[in-house]
Structure formats: C-alpha cells, structure tokens
C-alpha cells in the first residue's frame, strides 16, 4: 500500500502500518522467529518487545531493601540520625508486647551502618528474606549476563510454599521478638 493511497484519517500511523499488523496473524512461525532484523515496512510486523528482564518478587524485595538501606545510610551520614519521627508500634505501646514486625526499622538502620549481625538480632525473618532475595537476584542477573537466560522466574513457578509455612515462620519470628527484643 503506497503512502499516497492511504486515507488521510490513517496517514498519521505511517504508510501501511495498520494493514501490516493485520497480516501478522497470517505469517508463518518461521518468519516470526527469523533472527535477521526486519527491513522496510515489514518492521511493523513484529510488535515491540517487552522489558528484557522478567521482574519477580525477590527482585522487588531487593530493590526495596536497597532503597531503605541507602536512605537510612544517607540520613545517618548527613545528620547522624533519621531527621523524621520514626513509626511507633501501637501494639508495643499499648501492651508492652512487640508485634511481628517490630525491629525492622532498627534492622535497616543497622544494615545501613554495616552491622548485619546486629540487624539479624533486631529482625531475623525480614533480614533473612532480604538476604535470600538479594542472593537469588544477583545469581539470576549473573546467569542472565553469562547465558542470556533467567532461571529465577522458572524456579519460582516450580517452588511450592504452603501458606502454613509462611504462618509458622512468622509465628516463630514473633516468638523470638517477644522473648529477646524487649
């Protein structure tokens, strides 16, 4: 289809672009997997690829923990403390019993200062989750860099974790906090 024969209402899409997308379904699978880059109007036959790295929950945990650690480290370096009031645990304030996430802020502050064992003492479940997520993410990035393939999304699909396992881990962590974090 020539550019001058395209109606003016479709001309902004580029010459033949809409028709090329319609022909995408009629193509053979061999032409879609051809490693050579498309030339000319056929470059519209294959839609743009998605983000080349599949982001999974360990990657997100690693990024969030990294941001928290860098934030606490920056605040500690600039002011010697966090310049805003830190959250207060309502359960601990009312009953004197720490909640299941008490100590997380102090754990990230300890990580920012470079004291991982102190962070582990404050909140073992969160720190171990961050450590495992970071190790898995780094191993996945190295595998992606060396082999061109990710293993983490496939491993997470195969991994079957019972909700009861998560509940038991949380309760054991909470018991540790009640006994040793006062």
The pLDDT tens digits of the residues spanning 114-162 come to 999 999 999 999 999 999 999 999 999 888 888 888 888 888 888 888 8
Q: What is the pLDDT of residue 156?
A: 86
Nearest to 124 by CA among 79, 158, 169: 169
**pLDDT higher than 80, residue 6:** no
The pLDDT > 70 percentage for the chain reads 71
Q: 63 with 21, same domain?
A: no
Q: Are 92 and 12 members of one domain?
A: no
Indicate if 171 and 85 belong to the same structural domain: yes
Q: Which residue segment(s) compose the domain that 88 sits in?
A: 57-180
Average pLDDT, the chain: 78
Q: What pLDDT, on a 0 to 100 scale, did the predictor assign at position 121?
A: 95
Q: Quick one: three-class SS letters along the chain?
A: CCHHHCCCCCHHHCCCHHHHHHHHHHCCHHHHCCCCCCCHHHHHCCCCCCCCCCCCHHHHHHHHHHHHHHHHHHHHHHHCCCCCCCCCCHHHHHHCCCCCCCCHHHHHHHHHCCCHHHHHHHCHHHHHHHHHHHHHHHHHHHHHHHHCCCCHHHHHHHCCCCHHHHHHHHHHHHHHHHHHCC
Evaluate if residue 7 carries a pLDDT over 90. Answer: no
Please indicate, yes or no, if residue 50 is contained in any of the structural domains. Answer: no
Please give the tally of structural domains in the chain: 2
The sign of the torsion formed by the CA atoms of 117, 173, 162, 91 equals negative
On whether residue 52 sits in a domain, the answer given is no
Per-residue pLDDT tens over the stretch 23-40: 444 445 555 555 555 554
Residue 73 has pLDDT above 70, yes or no: yes
Residue 148 domain-assigned (yes or no)? yes
In this structure, are 40 and 63 located in the same domain? no
Q: How confident is the model at residue 59 (pLDDT cuts 50, 70, 90)?
A: confident
Give the pLDDT band (50/70/90) at residue 57. confident
Contacts of 9 (CB under 8 A, 6+ apart): none
pTM for the model: 0.64
**For residue 5, what pLDDT is reported?**
56
């Amino acid at each position: 289809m020539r550019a001058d024969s395209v109606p003016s209402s479709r001309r902004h899409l580029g010459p033949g672009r809409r028709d090329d997308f319609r022909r995408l379904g009629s193509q053979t699978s061999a032409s879609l997997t051809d490693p050579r880059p498309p030339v000319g109007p056929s470059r519209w036959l294959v839609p743009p690829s998605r983000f080349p790295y599949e982001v999974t929950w360990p990657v997100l945990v690693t990024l969030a923990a990294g941001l928290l650690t860098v934030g606490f480290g920056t605040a500690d370096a600039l002011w010697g403390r966090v310049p805003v009031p830190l959250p207060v645990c309502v359960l601990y304030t009312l009953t004197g019993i720490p909640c299941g996430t008490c100590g997380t802020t102090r754990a990230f502050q300890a990580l920012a200062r470079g004291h991982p064992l102190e962070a582990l003492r404050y909140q073992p479940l969160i720190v171990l989750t961050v450590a495992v997520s970071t190790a898995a993410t780094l191993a996945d990035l190295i595998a992606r860099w060396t082999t061109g393939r990710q293993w983490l999304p496939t491993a997470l699909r195969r991994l079957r974790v019972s909700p009861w396992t998560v509940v038991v881990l949380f309760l054991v962590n909470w018991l540790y906090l009640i006994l040793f974090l006062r």
